[in-house]
Chains A and B, each alone.
Chain A
Amino acid sequence: MEPLTSLKPLIAVLVSLGVVPILISSRNANVREAWTFGAAGAKFLIVLSMLPAVLEGQELVFIVAEVLPGVAVALRVDAFGMLFALVASSLWIVTSAYSIGYMRGLNEHGQTRYFCFFALALSATIGAAFSANLFTLYLFYEMLSFATYPLVTHHQDAEARRSGRKYLLYIVGTSIGLVLPAMILSYDLAGTLEFSTHGFLPHSASPVMLGALLFMFLFGFAKAGIMPFHSWLPAAMVAPTPVSALLHAVAVVKVGVFCILRVLTGVFGLDLLASLNLGVAVTYVAAFTILIASLIALTQDELKRRLAFSTIGQLSYIVLGAALLSPKGLTGAMIHIAMHAFGKITLFFCAGAIFVATGKKYISQMVGIGRRMPVTMAAFFIGSLSVIGIPPTGGFVSKWHLVLGTLPNHQWAMLVVLLISSLLNAAYFFPIVYRAFFCQEDQCLFEDTPKEAPLWCLVPLVITAACTILLFFYPFLFLRLAQLAGS
Chain B
Amino acid sequence: MSAHYPALLVIIPLLASFFISAAGWLRPPWCFPLALTAMGGSLLVSIGLLADVIRGIPDLYWFGGWAPPWGIYYRVDHLNALVLVVISGVGFVNLWAARPTVDRELPEKAGAFYTLYVLFVTGLLGMVVTGDAFNLYVLLEIAAITGYALIALGKGRAPLASLNYIFMGTIGACFYLLGVGYLYIVTGSLNMQDIARLLAPLHGSRVVTVAFVIMMVGVWLKMGFFPLHAWLPNAYTYAPSPVSSLVAPLMTKVMVYVMIRMVMTVFTVDYAFGVLVLNEAVVWLAVIAIVAGSLMALAEKDFKRMLTFIVVAEVGYMVGGFWLGNRSGFTGSVLHIVNDALMTLCLFLAAGSIIHARGESRIQSLQGLFSTMPWTMGALVVGAMSIIGVPPTCGFFSKWYLLLGAVEGGHYGFLAALLFSSLVNVVLFFRIFEIGYFEPMEASHGGASHGHAHGHEAPAMSEAPLGMLVPLWMTALGLIAVGFYTGEIVGRVIRHAIPATMF
Binding site for B on A (CB under 8 A): 64-69, 72-73, 109, 135, 138-139, 142-143, 146, 150, 153, 156-158, 160-161, 164-165, 168, 172-173, 176-177, 180-181, 184-185, 187-188
Contacts and interface: CB of A to CB of B under 8 A. Distances in A.
A176 B486 contact: no
A74 to B, nearest CB: 12
A67 B484 contact: yes
A139 B404 CA distance: 17
Contacts of B400: 68, 184
B438 A66 contact: no
29 contacts: A64-B484, A67-B397, A67-B484, A67-B486, A67-B487, A68-B400, A68-B487, A69-B487, A69-B491, A73-B484, A139-B391, A139-B392, A142-B390, A142-B391, A153-B438, A156-B455, A161-B438, A168-B430, A172-B388, A176-B388, A176-B422, A177-B423, A180-B389, A180-B403, A181-B403, A181-B419, A184-B404, A184-B415, A185-B407
Given A164-B434, A184-B404, A65 B485 contact: yes
Contact of B407 (A72, A150, A161, A188): A188
B419 A177 contact: yes
A165 B427 CA distance: 9
Contacts of B426: 168, 172-173, 176
A172 B483 CA distance: 20
4 closest Cβ pairs, A-B complex: A139-B391, A66-B487, A65-B484, A184-B403
B390 A146 contact: yes
Nearest to B458: A110
Interface in B135-183: none
A73 B415 CA distance: 24
Interface string B416-433: 000100110010001000
B55 interface: no
A66 B430 CA distance: 31
A73 B426 CA distance: 24
Contact of A176 (B389, B392, B407, B415): B389
B104 interface: no
Contacts of B491: 69
Interface in B426-457: 426, 430, 434, 437-438, 454-457
B255 interface: no
Contacts of A187: 404
Interface in B462-499: 483-487, 490-491
Interface in B99-133: none
B280 interface: no
Contacts of A185: 407
A220 to B, nearest CB: 12
Given A67-B486, A67-B487, A176-B388, 8 more contacts: A65-B484, A65-B487, A68-B486, A143-B392, A146-B385, A156-B438, A180-B403, A184-B404
A148 to B, nearest CB: 14
Main secondary structure of the interface of B (DSSP, over half): helix
B270 interface: no
| Residue among B389, B408, B422, B438 with most chain A CB within 10 A | B438
A217 to B, nearest CB: 15
A185 B407 CA distance: 7
A129 B358 CA distance: 43
A161 B487 contact: no
Contact of B391 (A135, A156, A160): A135
A153 B385 CA distance: 19
A181 B406 CA distance: 11
B420 to A, nearest CB: 9
B314 to A, nearest CB: 16
Contacts of B403: 180-181, 184
A146 B381 CA distance: 10
Nearest to B434: A161
A224 B233 CA distance: 41
Contacts of A143: 390-392
Interface string B36-60: 0000000000000000000000000
B384 to A, nearest CB: 10
A95 B434 CA distance: 28
A69 B498 CA distance: 16
A245 to B, nearest CB: 23
B392 to A, nearest CB: 6
Contacts of B456: 109
Contacts of A65: 484-485, 487
A157 B457 CA distance: 15
Contacts of A109: 455-457
B392 A165 contact: no
Given A177-B419, A184-B403, A165 B434 contact: yes
Contact of A138 (B388, B391, B487): B391
Contacts of A158: 438
B371 to A, nearest CB: 9
A180 to B, nearest CB: 7
A188 B408 contact: yes
Contacts of B408: 188
A298 B491 CA distance: 57
A180 B395 CA distance: 14
B388 A184 contact: no
Nearest to B389: A176
Contacts of A68: 397, 400, 486-487, 490
B397 A184 contact: no
B497 to A, nearest CB: 16
Contacts of B407: 184-185, 188
| Residue among A135, A157, A181, A184 with most chain B CB within 10 A | A184
Contacts of B490: 68-69
Contacts of B423: 173, 176-177
A259 to B, nearest CB: 14
Contacts of A184: 400, 403-404, 407, 415
Contact of A180 (B419, B434, B454, B485): B419
A68 B422 CA distance: 20
B50 to A, nearest CB: 19
Contacts of B454: 156
A180 B407 CA distance: 12
A150 B391 CA distance: 20
Contacts of A188: 404, 407-408
A165 B429 CA distance: 12
A70 to B, nearest CB: 10
B394 to A, nearest CB: 10
A138 B455 CA distance: 35
A268 to B, nearest CB: 19
Nearest to B388: A176
B419 A176 contact: yes
A119 B298 CA distance: 33
B112 to A, nearest CB: 42
